[in-house]
Chains A and B, each alone.
Chain A
Amino acid sequence: MGKASYALELKGITKAFGTKVVANQDVDLQVKYGEILAILGENGSGKTTLMNMVSGIYYPDKGQIFVDGKEVTIKSPKDAFDFRIGMIHQHFKLVDVFSAAENIVLGIDDGQKYNLKKAKQRIREITDKYGFQIDLDKKIYAMSVSEKQTVEIIKVLYRGADILILDEPTAVLTPQETQKLFAVLRNMKKDNKTVIIITHKLHEVLEISDRVAILRKGKNAGMVNTDEANEQILTEAMVGEQVDLNIERKEPKDPQTRLVVKRLNVKNRQGENALTDINFSVSSGEIFGIAGISGSGQKELLESIAGLQRCEKGSSILYTDSDEVEQQLVGKTPREIRKLGIAMSFVPEDRLGMGLVGNMDITDNMMLRSYKNGKSEFLDRKKPRELAETIINDLEVVTPSTSTPVRRLSGGNVQKVLVGREIALEPRVLMVAYPVRGLDINSSYMIYNLLNEQKEKGVSIIFVGEDLDVLIALCDRIMVINSGEITGILDGRTAKKDEIGLLMTKTNGGADNEAK
């Protein structure tokens, strides 16, 4: 082994879904031994599909795969492991009630008796070698996202993978956790393992990779050595045209307090505090950012304002508009809030599970907010259809027609439909949760522009984000929350990324530091 020039080579890989969607077309790729290769591309450019074919989830329609210079057929993830290829998916596949060690050994049939103690010893060899920090006896449900990811990576290494594929590994991590992950990846590289990392974050590509393969619309769009690349070059290769990467930020015009949250306490289903003593206020014409590790209470906070959460006694959310009448929102249902004449729009994190109905077409989804209007017992589908057509035109939604079920649309288009509908309500308060998650660069900038437009109209915007660079560039103020508590409210114009990162993990010191 080791004679071949490439650890992994793909030739002319083509994969289509149905007759219309071609996910990959004639893609070639060469991966060297002991390198970190980044696969860069916008969402829907076929990165994940390509790697799924290498890891045995899909089977290519055409093309050849070579491992160590030999042509192979990979029919299942098990085959992939036989060729020492392991993939860490974006959505973790772990058993919640099992411990880390149990998950790692799960499903391995090596013909020997199940011996957790021995297995743990072997796992520990791996963790020491690459510098993982993990408590092997900790149950998955008690773990942070970063710990779960660590378990997934160890799982793949334990199965003897020499080629590791990581699908958007940093999407759920804080800057500090990302650094830890990168350190581990560098250790693997030293050990002559081959790492393929799928991503669309440019600065990470530049930081960690040796070479970058770029995909655009399912086809090869270039392969560059990282030290010869910069953000502008990569973006242009990825998008296929010049893109302005600056986000504009105007000073809020005539800001007036619109929303005052006081002593907001919310308990989750288990009776634990999801939000503790939250106090802040949002003005008209500002973008108020919220940063935090996912699951720090962002969802509960937005849902409390929208009238979807039960708040504890003493909580107060006051809404004031230009008429200067204060309205208490706590204890009201979404419908009651609307009846008060408060136009509040909410783009929830769970787009297809909450904001939209996946099985309904675009027109019917447009009606979700407005179908109750009018006295008639029957639906008026004419106006929603017109709205659907307007949004499809204005926001460049790619869809066969207004009667296409939204679940068939790509992530970016789903989000455009949702944001478009919420903005069409002409809100006074607009709440958006992770509005650009999974969106390509052009769509993301379109969303930022839409938010800025609303800001100029005097709308109060609450923006829950995960990309700190974007939060710093877009928001007027940034509130950092951690485990349901505010750890700081910063000025967006002066805030530093490290500072926010530290606040995100402040009070409990970060769950993953406790391990070990």
Chain B
Amino acid sequence: MKQNKAKKSEPLIRITKRTDVSLKLGIIVRVIAILIALLVCGIVTKVFTSDDPISILKTIVHGAFGEGRMLVTLHDVALLLCVSLAVTPAFRMKFWNIGAEGQVLMGALATAMCMFFLGGKVPDALLIVIMIVFSIVTACVWAIIPAFFKAHWGTNETLFTLMMNYVAIQLIEYFLKIADKSGSNVVGPDLLSHGWFPQIFHTDYVLNIVIVAIITVLLHIYLTKSKHGYELLVVGESENTARYIGINVKKVIIRTMALSGAICGIAGLLIVGGASHSIDSNIAGGRGFSAIMVSWLAKFNPIVMVLTSLLLVFLSRGADEVSSKFGLNADFSQILTGIILFFIIGCEFFIHYQVHFRSSKKAEKEDK
């Protein structure tokens, strides 16, 4: 009989879901995860490069927060945060917009076009106003297109927004051909010489950081305290419920994506008008995709996103520093980044689930 085959034994590992997750537990698990991640990074470094792991870790920290780097790091955080904020309203509505990259590019392109075609022809103050309006509107439209199709015909927003990224890239390439006849793949500050944002404390970065800080607070209030924020949450949770209480689902989808697009437009504007004063098809720098991770890690909470975007920027800047200082391949720094992210994301499992091992007492009883 088959019965005899299965002997009495408790399963070695059982997994149960935690019903109540305390804040304290969450913090402890995450801290442990980061410590383990650093340990693994050290071991990997030692084994593969035989460089001193401690000095590599120091270099990572130095790369991000070393002398004269603080402001650059913060500015990077601000830009990434801005894009992350942009995708968040849509994500809270469970609209998986992965087209932030393209929306930022369109904002940047609109800004650059204003600077290129109107620069010198209108007063700079007016030019900046036009840049602001034009970049926001362009990115907005770019974001509304997939939202409109989703709302009316139920198209898949993920594919749609992804594809529109490539269209945006091509549009920028086309602009580059028109603006710079030399065939360069960057249109630099020499051609975009007007409409630069005013500097504060002799640097471009402070203004951008301040703007993003303001947007963070405003968006947080919008999402948690306003009727719009409530509506988009209901639509995301259940369209049936939304219809049941009389929410116009189509309107909310389009309105929310318009907001996402608008903030992406601002990100593009800040990058071109407020910092680089140049444009190329790589100007968004993958932030549209990193933003997805920032937003998810923060559970779509704008305030927490300050920390998660800081984490990502810290890792990438530190890793860059390591690869240049130790003469290692750039890929190595990415390995380290990957290890750390793996542990940070992986530890979520231990926060939400409890693992039971077979208790040793019972195991003894069995042996008898």
A residues lining the B interface (CB < 8 Å): 17-21, 59, 67-68, 70-73, 75, 79, 82-83, 306, 308, 333-335, 338, 346, 348, 350, 353-360, 364, 367-369, 371-372, 376-379, 408
Contacts and interface: CB of A to CB of B under 8 A. Distances in A.
Nearest to B354: A18
B360 interface: no
A379 B241 contact: no
B6 A79 contact: yes
B246 interface: yes
Interface in B1-33: 2-3, 5-11, 14, 16-20
A82 B3 contact: yes
Contacts of A334: 243-246
B225 interface: yes
A376 B226 CA distance: 9
Contacts of B243: 308, 334
Most chain A beta-carbon contacts within 10 A, residue among B18, B19, B244: B244
Contacts of A408: 19
B230 interface: yes
A355 B241 contact: yes
Given A334-B245, A378-B226, A379-B225, A360 B233 contact: yes
A379 B228 CA distance: 9
8 contacts: A17-B16, A19-B19, A353-B238, A354-B240, A355-B241, A355-B244, A360-B234, A379-B227
B169 to A, nearest CB: 37
Interface in B183-231: 225-230
A350 B244 CA distance: 11
Given A73-B10, A377-B226, A379-B227, A353 B241 contact: yes
B9 A377 contact: no
Interface of B: 2-3, 5-11, 14, 16-20, 225-230, 233-234, 237-238, 240-241, 243-246
B14 A59 contact: yes
Given A68-B3, A72-B3, A367-B230, 8 more contacts: A18-B16, A18-B18, A18-B19, A73-B8, A75-B11, A357-B241, A378-B225, A379-B227
B226 A67 contact: no
A374 to B, nearest CB: 9
Contacts of A367: 230
Most chain A beta-carbon contacts within 10 A, residue among B2, B16, B227, B233: B227
Contacts of A360: 233-234, 237
Nearest to B244: A354
A378 B14 CA distance: 46
A80 to B, nearest CB: 11
A350 B240 contact: yes
Contacts of B20: 18-20
Chain B binding surface SS class:
mixed
Contacts of A17: 16-17, 19
Contacts of B229: 379
Contact of B230 (A75, A364, A376): A364
Nearest to A81: B2
Given A73-B9, A350-B240, A356-B241, A67 B225 contact: no
B8 A71 contact: yes
B230 A379 contact: yes
B53 to A, nearest CB: 39
Contacts of B7: 73
A368 B8 contact: no
A372 B244 contact: no
Nearest to B1: A1
A350 B19 CA distance: 23
Given A308-B243, A354-B238, A72 B8 contact: yes
B89 to A, nearest CB: 15
B142 to A, nearest CB: 26
Contact of B19 (A21, A71, A83, A372): A21
A79 B8 CA distance: 12
Contacts of B233: 357, 360
Contacts of B228: 377
A20 B19 contact: yes
A67 B3 contact: yes
B246 A335 contact: yes
A377 B227 contact: yes
Contacts of A350: 240
Contacts of A369: 245
A75 B7 CA distance: 11
B69 to A, nearest CB: 40
A360 B231 CA distance: 12
Contacts of A359: 237
Nearest to B247: A335
Contact of B227 (A67, A75, A372): A372
A368 B245 contact: yes
A357 B238 contact: yes
A333 B244 CA distance: 9
Nearest to A18: B19
A83 B3 contact: yes
A368 B238 CA distance: 12
A348 to B, nearest CB: 7
Contacts of B237: 357-360
B93 to A, nearest CB: 13
A379 B6 CA distance: 59
Contacts of B5: 82
A73 B8 CA distance: 5
